[in-house]
Amino acid sequence: MEQAMLWGVGTSAYGRFPDQRVESLAWTAVAEAVRDADIRPDAIDAIIVGSVFGPPGVATRIQRGLGISSVPMWTIENACASGTSAYHEAVEAVRLGRFKCVLVLGVDQMSTLFSGAIVPEATDPEGASSLPLPGLYALQAQRYVSEFGVTPEQLAAIAVKNKSNGMDNPRAQLRDTVPTIQEVLDSRMIADPLTFLQCCPTSDGAGAAIVGGDRGNPDDLRIEASAMVSGALWDQRSEDVWGFASVARAAQKAYAQAGRSPQEIDVLEVHDAFTIGEILTLEALGIAPRGKGAELAPSGHTTRDGVQPVNPSGGLLSRGHPLGATGMAQLAEIAWQLRGQAGARQVDRHRVGLVETMGGGAAGMDGNACVVTILSAQA
């Protein structure tokens, strides 16, 4: 088994760019990743693209501007985990010796598809019944609150923490002001108990990465683990709230691969599409015991100067959420953090990082897919 390494990362800015082409967003990210990896484009011997709403043939439409011809190339759709699912396939391919240098790309342009919240999928029972994604997360939150007694202030603290971090992220979509906890709670209700400032914006953007073998470059990051799981039935037998179990399954696999415990992780980027998502994810990742995840942000544990900073980039709540690109944006942030290149966002302890992306929304399953990857700096 080859050791897979992360050679380089790049992203576009995140925001609403309806006047840009999908390709333009992607090319910006690819160009930065190729420069960052210090390779020529013709070193790339496969392309894997993650996208949910990209046009048919999105990978080829992007490819035609790159001059990387005839290599194996394919597109993966795994909801919000599309980008990191593409990355996972690249890691597996390199590990198995199938390719030496893979371009991974995540891209989505939502502003030309939705004017507000994402329209629920009409072919799905829940979508047909008008359950929007914030509603699904609100149902998680209500159940969780009734079981563990989480306060509205604890939920809002996630938004305040991540939006504070996002102020130092020049690529983030939302960085005008940092709301107070009261302002988060006073913002208009979307789905009880989730208020507007507890929901990520829909966004446009792209993220790219170059994954390859060990070429002896000390700047490359070691990919200690990459685990991807699909969903399992979530139904009347389930004691966990929707989505929890899929994250836990992926996390267990990733920790086993890396031979690490949750306490050894220095910095994390996790899927905070809604505030409750960060709380549940950190419990599923073992960063907090069950029912204690809501204490992490108010206690300072997960703030940028805390023991285990979570979403130093500002997370989805600040950066925005172009579904297919989100996982790659998370990966880029962890790469910059591990290399000490995160500028004003840089966290102190940054040897081992973790990225978690959970995509979901299909009724009756605990997620469409979840990817957890653990990386470390060599120095």
Partner 1 sequence: MSELGVGRPTKRRAGAAVGGLPVADSRPVLDGDAVLGSRCTVCRYPTTQQGLPWCPVCYEATEPDRFARTGKVWSSTVVAIPVGTRRPPFGLAYLDLDDGPRVLVHLAEPAVLEPGARLEITGTDDGDLVATRMEQ
In the complex, the residues that contact partner 1 under the rule CB under 8 A are 18-19, 53-56, 111-113, 115-132, 134-135, 138-143, 146-147, 188-193, 233, 235-236, 238, 241, 363-364
* 271 part of the active site: no
Min. distance of Cβ 47 from partner 1 in angstroms?
A: 21
**Crossing angle of helices 275-284/244-258, nearest 10°?**
40
Residue partners of 22: CB distance under 8 A and separation at least 6: 54, 55, 58, 61, 62, 107, 109
Min. distance of Cβ 184 from partner 1 in angstroms?
A: 15
Burial 204-219 (b: 16+ CB within 10 A, else e): bbbbbbbbbbeeeeeb
Min. distance of Cβ 144 from partner 1 in angstroms?
A: 9
Burial 188-197 (b: 16+ CB within 10 A, else e): eebbebbbeb
Q: Which of 88, 271, 321, 350 is catalytic?
A: 321
Burial 108-146 (b: 16+ CB within 10 A, else e): bbbbeeeeeebebeeeeebbeeebbbbbbbbbbbbebbe
Min. distance of Cβ 365 from partner 1 in angstroms?
A: 10
Q: Closest CB to partner 1 among 57 and 340?
A: 57
Q: Closest CB to partner 1 among 23 and 266?
A: 23
In whole angstroms, what is the distance from residue 129 CA to residue 221 CA? 45
Residue partners of 177: CB distance under 8 A and separation at least 6: none
* 199 part of the active site: no
Q: Is 324 left (phi over 0), alpha (psi -120 to 50) or beta?
A: alpha
Q: Closest CB to partner 1 among 198 and 330?
A: 198
Min. distance of Cβ 146 from partner 1 in angstroms?
A: 5
Query: Which active-site residues does the annotation give?
Result: 80, 321
